[in-house]
């Protein structure tokens, strides 16, 4: 089923201990779309400036991504972010942020984008997420990402946006910040218990991204977690979370006949984990641009073998 993603399209300058790149293709919507395109038709909605060329759009087109709703703002500059990672690639320092055309972004969705069965609201202002959500009232599955900034300055609007979606994808620190709860499970349970707003269903799936430690899935019925795929070479984690989201949401979109519950969600987690593992092997979108379906399948099989075990407690004398 088709997916619409609304979010940033950007140029990133990134330095890590293993090298650096200047003004490489980035942005949440781009990383999401390139990952999601393996499983579904993807429509991207976001603004760019005059400095964003056909070469960059061709990266998306080469994966079959529909860029009709990429809005070019005459005289504008594309969103730009610069950051540096130290040896601890879980943390980074932002060196520069230039909002450019993203500062006045008002999403404009075509009929095709509004007709999608699945919607991903990338990390944008909660008010814009609510506006876009209202334009796809019949979407079968809607997921949302956010960040600590919106929790700090727009928590009420973010809470309303969360209440309007099926799935929330945040990192574990953001979940704790959002709820004031001391640990991941209690924080996720609180969000799952929030009342739905204006007749919406409210979230039923919480995904907590945990960087190099993997990710956790919490629903009202179960808890499931996967480690990150073990890598010897990690170059640049920029966009890994959005790549994960693209894998997770698109896998669900590709299986409309299945209930969005345990078995499907667990497989989606594995697919997402594998895609994120490829993302971090090179800078920006470089590795995912070359990625093949065969590579994804092979690594998914490896992850399955690593995480499968037989419970043997019944063989031990554990006492009463």
What confidence category does residue 193 fall into, taking pLDDT thresholds of 50, 70 and 90?
confident
Identify the DSSP state of 256: T
Residues in a beta bridge with 79: 10
Phi, psi for 251 (deg, rounded to 5) = -65, -40
- Tell me what pLDDT residue 200 has: 54
* pLDDT at residue 1 is higher than 90: no
pLDDT at 199 over 60: no
Signed CA dihedral, 245, 246, 249, 252: sign only: negative
36 located within any domain: yes
Residue 314 lies in a domain: no
Judge whether residue 196 has pLDDT over 70. Answer: no
Q: Taking 60 as the threshold, does the pLDDT of residue 185 lie above it?
A: yes
Of the candidates 29, 238, 254, 27, the one whose C-alpha atom is nearest the C-alpha of residue 121 is 29
pLDDT score recorded for residue 91: 85
Measured between alpha carbons, how far is 63 from 39 in angstroms, rounded to an integer? 11
What mean pLDDT comes out for the span 235-263?
96
Is it the case that residue 64 has pLDDT exceeding 90? yes
Please report, to the nearest 10 degrees, the dihedral formed by the alpha carbons of residues 181, 184, 187, 190 taken in order: -140
**What is the model's pLDDT at position 314?**
58
3-class secondary structure, 66: strand
- 273-296, pLDDT tens digit by residue? 999 999 999 999 999 999 999 999
**For the segment 106-115, what is each residue's pLDDT rounded down to a tens digit?**
999 999 999 9
Rounded to the nearest 10°, the torsion over CA 228, 230, 232, 236 is -10
Is residue 248 over pLDDT 90?
A: yes
Q: Tell me, rounded to whole angstroms, the distance of Cα 124 from its chain centroid.
A: 12
Q: Is residue 312 part of a domain?
A: no
Question: Where on the phi/psi map is residue 141: left (φ > 0), alpha (ψ -120 to 50), or beta?
Answer: beta
- pLDDT value at position 115? 96
Rg (the chain; Cα; Å): 19
Total domains present in the chain: 1
Q: How far apart are CA 291 and CA 274, in angstroms?
A: 11
CA distance 46 to 171: 23
pLDDT at 99: 94
Residue 257 lies in a domain: yes
Q: What pLDDT sits at residue 319?
A: 59
Name the 3-class secondary structure at 262.
helix
Biggest CA-to-CA distance, the chain: 74
Position 318 confidence tier, pLDDT thresholds 50, 70, 90: low
What is the arithmetic mean of pLDDT over 159-183?
A: 94
Asked if the structure places residue 320 within a domain, the reply is no
Q: Is the dihedral of CA 185, 202, 245, 92 positive or negative?
A: negative
Does pLDDT of 171 surpass 90?
Answer: yes
In a domain, 72, yes or no: yes
pLDDT of residue 309: 81
Rounded-to-integer distance, Cα 46 and Cα 23, Å: 18
pLDDT band at 202 (very low <50, low <70, confident <90, very high): confident
Is the model's pLDDT at 195 over the cut of 80?
A: no
CATH number of 130's domain: 3.40.1190.20
Residues 6+ apart with CB under 8 A from 303: 226, 229, 270, 273, 274
Q: How many helices (H) and strands (E) does the chain have?
A: 12, 13
pLDDT at residue 313 is higher than 60:
no
Q: Does residue 207 belong to any structural domain of this protein?
A: yes
Closest CA to 142 of 273, 5, 39: 5
Contact 52, 43 (CB under 8 A): no
Give residue 32's domain range.
3-304
320 — pLDDT class (breaks 50, 70, 90)? low
Average pLDDT, the chain: 93
Instruction: Give the closest residue to 183 by CA, choosing from 171, 172, 191, 193.
Output: 172
Question: Is 91 within a domain?
Answer: yes
* DSSP designation for 258: S
Whether 198 has a pLDDT exceeding 90, the answer reads no
């Amino acid at each position: 089923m088709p997916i619409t993603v609304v979010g940033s399209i950007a140029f990133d300058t990134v330095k890590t201990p293993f090298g650096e790149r200047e003004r490489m293709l980035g942005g949440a919507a781009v990383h999401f779309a390139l990952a999601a395109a393996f499983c579904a038709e993807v429509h991207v909605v976001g603004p760019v400036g005059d400095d964003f060329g056909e070469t960059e759009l061709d990266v998306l087109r080469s994966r079959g991504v529909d860029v009709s709703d990429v809005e070019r703002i005459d005289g504008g500059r594309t969103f730009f972010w610069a950051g540096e990672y130290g040896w601890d690639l879980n943390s980074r320092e932002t060196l520069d942020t230039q909002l450019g055309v993203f500062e006045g972004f008002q999403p404009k969705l075509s009929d095709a984008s509004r007709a999608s069965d699945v919607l991903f609201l990338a990390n944008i202002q909660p008010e814009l997420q609510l506006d876009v959500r209202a334009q796809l009232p019949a979407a079968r599955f809607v997921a949302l990402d956010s960040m600590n900034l919106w929790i700090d300055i727009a928590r009420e609007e973010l809470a309303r946006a969360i209440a309007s979606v099926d799935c929330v994808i945040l990192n574990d620190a953001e979940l704790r910040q959002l709820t004031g709860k001391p640990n991941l499970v209690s924080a996720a349970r609180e969000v799952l218990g929030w009342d739905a707003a204006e007749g919406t269903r409210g979230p039923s799936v919480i995904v907590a991204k945990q960087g190099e430690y993997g990710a956790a899935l919490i629903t009202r019925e179960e808890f499931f977690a996967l480690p990150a795929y073990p890598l010897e070479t990690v170059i640049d984690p920029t966009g890994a979370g959005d790549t994960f989201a693209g894998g997770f949401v698109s896998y669900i979109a590709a299986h409309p006949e299945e209930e969005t519950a345990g078995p499907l969600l667990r497989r989606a987690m594995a697919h997402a984990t594998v895609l994120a593992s490829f993302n971090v092997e090179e800078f920006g979108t470089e590795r995912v641009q070359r990625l093949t379906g065969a590579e994804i399948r092979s690594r998914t099989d490896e992850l399955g073998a690593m995480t499968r075990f037989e419970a043997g407690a019944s063989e031990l004398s554990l006492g009463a």
